[in-house]
């Protein structure tokens, strides 16, 4: 680890032991530094468990679970990310300049995950709270069994979106290819649209008139009845 000034810390990942790399990232972040991690080499579990006020820039592609268990850290991934980016995040901001793989934002409990490209299948699976913003398209089964929070897609939804939703919502500005089981589209209120647009502006996304569709639970799966068992078997 080298420090080029009081506020900038350079950390090389390469093939060094991951525990050592993450220990240095957390220490620099907690001290409020701007941290740049080079030679990310698509490694898994980089930048997990952050809680400090510093900005962590991961320069390149990253593997699975990047930014997982984030609790207030600010993470910028300059390339693409693998599975489960921001998994279990409680607070903070993770930005992916490229696209994200399967299960981005899985089991999120808070914070914001901003994906500037596309998101793979099962984005926001089991999400509890927080916002996932995808500027591109979202893959199949996005929002599967989401219990809370919002998934906001500026592109198109591919595959069964909102399957088995509970109290989470999925917003789609583009086309919806297919709804998941027990998902339905409603016309959002003006207040909710204004709140979504405000959230996008805070992320630096230009305001625009968008044809928002809000996907919510149809609530048929909320209460099990033996005569409706076929619906459960379809999940």
- pLDDT tens digits, residue range 196-221? 999 999 999 998 999 999 999 999 88
- Each residue's pLDDT tens digit, 124-135: 999 999 999 999
pTM: 0.93
Contacts of 101 (CB under 8 A, 6+ apart): 64, 80, 81, 82, 83, 84, 85, 120
Confidence at residue 6, expressed as pLDDT on a 0 to 100 scale: 60
Banded pLDDT at 169 (limits 50, 70, 90): very high
**Separation of CA 73 from chain center:** 14
Report the candidate in 69, 65, 108, 71 with the shortest Cα–Cα distance to residue 84.
65
What architecture does CATH give domain 2-233?
A: 3 Solenoid (2.160)
**In the chain, what are the domain boundaries?**
2-233
Q: Is the pLDDT of residue 118 over 60?
A: yes
Q: What is the mean pLDDT of the chain?
A: 94
pLDDT of residue 204: 97
Q: How confident is the model at residue 3 (pLDDT cuts 50, 70, 90)?
A: very low
Mean predicted confidence (pLDDT) in 58-67: 98
């Amino acid at each position: 680890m080298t420090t080029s000034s009081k506020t900038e810390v350079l950390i090389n990942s390469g093939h060094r032991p991951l525990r050592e790399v993450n220990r240095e990232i957390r220490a620099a972040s907690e001290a409020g530094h701007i941290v740049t991690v080079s030679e990310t080499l698509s490694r898994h579990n980089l930048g997990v468990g952050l809680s400090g006020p510093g900005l962590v820039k991961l320069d390149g592609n990253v593997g699975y679970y990047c930014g997982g268990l984030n609790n207030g850290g600010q993470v910028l991934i300059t390339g693409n990310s693998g599975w489960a980016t921001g998994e279990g995040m409680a607070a903070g901001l993770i930005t992916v300049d490229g696209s994200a793989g399967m299960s981005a934002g899985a089991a999120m409990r808070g914070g914001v995950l901003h994906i500037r490209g596309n998101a793979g299948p099962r984005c926001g699976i089991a999400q509890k709270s927080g916002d996932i913003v995808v500027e591109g398209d979202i893959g199949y089964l996005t929002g599967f069994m989401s219990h809370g929070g919002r998934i906001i897609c500026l592109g198109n939804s591919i595959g069964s979106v909102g399957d088995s939703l509970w109290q989470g919502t999925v917003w789609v500005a583009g086309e919806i290819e297919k709804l998941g089981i027990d998902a339905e589209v409603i016309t959002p209120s003006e207040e909710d649209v204004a709140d979504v647009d405000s959230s996008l502006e805070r992320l630096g996304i230009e305001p625009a008139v968008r044809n928002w569709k809000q996907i919510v639970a149809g609530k048929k799966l909320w209460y099990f009845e033996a005569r409706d068992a076929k619906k459960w078997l379809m999940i």
